[in-house]
Amino acid sequence: MTELLSNFLAGQWQTGSGTGAALFDPVLGTELVRVDATGLDLAAGFAFAREQGGAALRALTYRERAAMLAAAVKVLQANRDAYYEIATANSGTVKNDSAVDIDGGIFTLGTYAKLGETLGERNYMLDGEAARLGKDPLFQSQHVLVPTRGVALFINAFNFPSWGLWEKAAPALLSGVPVIVKPATAAAWLTQRMVKDVVDAGIFPPGALSVVCGSSAGLMDALQTFDVVSFTGSAETAAVIRSHPAVAQRFVRVNIEADSVNSALLLPDAAPGSEAFDLLAKEVVREMTVKSGQKCTAIRRIFVPEASYDAAAQAISARLAKTTVGNPRNDAVRMGALVNRAQLASVREGLAYLQQQALTLHDGATHTLVDADPAIACCIGPSLLGVRDADGADRVHDTEVFGPVATLLPYRDTAHALALVRRGQGSLVASVYGADPSTLAATALQLADSHGRVHVISPDVAQLHTGHGNVMPQSLHGGPGRAGGGEELGGLRALGFYHRRSAVQASTAVLAALGS
pLDDT truncated to tens, each residue of the chain (516 aa)? 689 999 999 999 999 999 999 999 999 999 999 999 999 999 999 999 999 999 999 999 999 999 999 999 999 999 999 999 999 999 999 999 999 999 999 999 999 999 999 999 999 999 999 999 988 889 999 999 999 999 999 999 999 999 999 999 999 999 999 999 999 999 999 999 999 999 999 999 999 999 999 888 999 999 999 999 999 999 999 999 999 999 999 999 999 999 899 999 999 999 999 999 999 999 999 999 999 999 999 999 999 999 999 999 999 999 999 999 999 999 999 999 999 999 999 999 999 999 999 999 999 999 999 999 999 999 999 999 999 999 999 999 999 999 999 999 999 999 999 999 999 999 999 999 999 999 999 999 999 999 999 999 999 999 999 999 999 999 999 999 999 999 999 999 999 999 999 999 999 999 999 987
According to the CATH classification, is domain 262-477 in 3.30.70.560?
Answer: no
Delimiting residues of CATH 3.40.309.10 domain(s) in the chain: 262-477
CA distance linking residue 67 with residue 55, whole number of Å: 18
CA distance linking residue 288 with residue 350, whole number of Å: 15
pLDDT value for 1: 65
Q: Which residues are catalytic?
A: 257, 296
Strand order through the sheet with 405-411: 359-362, 383-386, 405-411, 299-305, 262-266, 427-433, 451-457
pLDDT value for 425: 97
Q: Output the CA torsion sign for 235, 237, 241, 242.
A: positive
Please say whether the beta carbons of 1 and 21 come within 8 A. Answer: no
CA distance linking residue 270 with residue 304, whole number of Å: 9
Which residues neighbour 346 within 8 Å (Cβ) at sequence distance 6 or greater? 402, 403
* 35 three-state secondary structure: strand
Q: How far is CA 140 from the centre of its chain?
A: 41
pLDDT value for 88: 98
H or E segment at 387?
Answer: none
pLDDT value for 515: 81
Delimiting residues of CATH 3.40.605.10 domain(s) in the chain: 4-123+139-258+489-515
Q: What is the architecture of the domain spanning 4-123+139-258+489-515?
A: 3-Layer(aba) Sandwich (3.40)
